[in-house]
Homo-oligomer: A and B are copies of this chain.
């Protein structure tokens, strides 16, 4: 049994709490939030206890691992404190919006030698994982083109946009990680065209809500990722890997299976309402992979270094947007 403390009891924290409680290899012991009432709600629901303070978590000999799901600006500090305390760490992305700060936090964790994993949960989506396994097994041959679509149903609140780091660091970063993971390769050049087409106030906040990123991989393969903050048809996520002998696709997924035949049309149930409905199951699988790695003495994956690398791509992508020109990515 891994004895877990959860830091952060917001929406995504409550999702993690449910999974921590349901996992047979986990004892969900403590939960902490700056808003104590939120922590209590979760504690009551899942028979956990509210930690009186963060120190009560980091100094407790009865806690083996922490799940960092608090606000982004706390991640780096908590990573360092957890590492100093010798806890295993599962951390929500990103590490820190400032790349240098992220690097120093990762260095601290690495030096401490504790198991640590960045929660890029899409790697654990059953279809994306199968796609990657197929590509790794050579079902598409040598990878030549990768296409990804990432489109959410509605523009987040402007307050969120302003502190999010921008579309590349906040939304597209998940797909930069998937790109590295699926292609088993790194991009060396990125060019992003973008604009605030969904909401002009996004431009006022210095960001875009619609963009296409074009990347060239070390291997020479090409990649395209389109990102949109608002669709008229729910949540749209799609990956396609085209190679020398075939193509593998993790396609759009319908939320229900009914078809209606009328006149010259067939009306099908559409896509999931939001990202959460689409990838909810991957959160449990990510947690389970972390547990398996920690129990088996293996390094959890994706590592914090994977988190850094996705962020490095997002930085270059953001620069490309600002300059209106391709930007090299130096590793």
Enumerate chain A interface residues (CB-CB to B < 8 A). 24, 45, 47, 126-127, 130-131, 134, 139-142, 144-145, 147, 149, 151, 189, 191, 193-195, 197-198, 210-212, 214, 216, 220-224, 226, 228, 230-234, 236, 242-271, 273, 324-326
Contact = CB atoms under 8 A, between A and B. Distances in A.
B264 A273 contact: yes
B233 A261 contact: yes
Given A258-B134, A266-B254, A228 B242 contact: yes
A220 B191 contact: no
Given A222-B226, A224-B224, A270 B264 contact: yes
Given A247-B233, A250-B258, A263-B232, A226 B226 contact: no
A189 B267 CA distance: 33
Contacts of A266: 233, 254, 267-271
Closest A-B pairs by Cβ, 4 of them: A232-B245, A233-B261, A127-B257, A246-B262
Contacts of A247: 231-233, 236, 260-261
Contact of A233 (B233, B253, B257, B263): B263
A2 to B, nearest CB: 17
Given A262-B139, A268-B268, A273-B264, A197 B214 contact: no
B246 A212 contact: no
Contacts of A145: 210, 212, 226, 228
A99 B249 CA distance: 39
B191 A326 contact: yes
Nearest to A263: B233
B242 A144 contact: no
A271 B267 contact: no
Contact of A47 (B47, B222, B223, B267): B47
Given A226-B145, A231-B247, A247-B233, A268 B270 contact: no
Given A214-B193, A226-B224, A257 B251 contact: yes
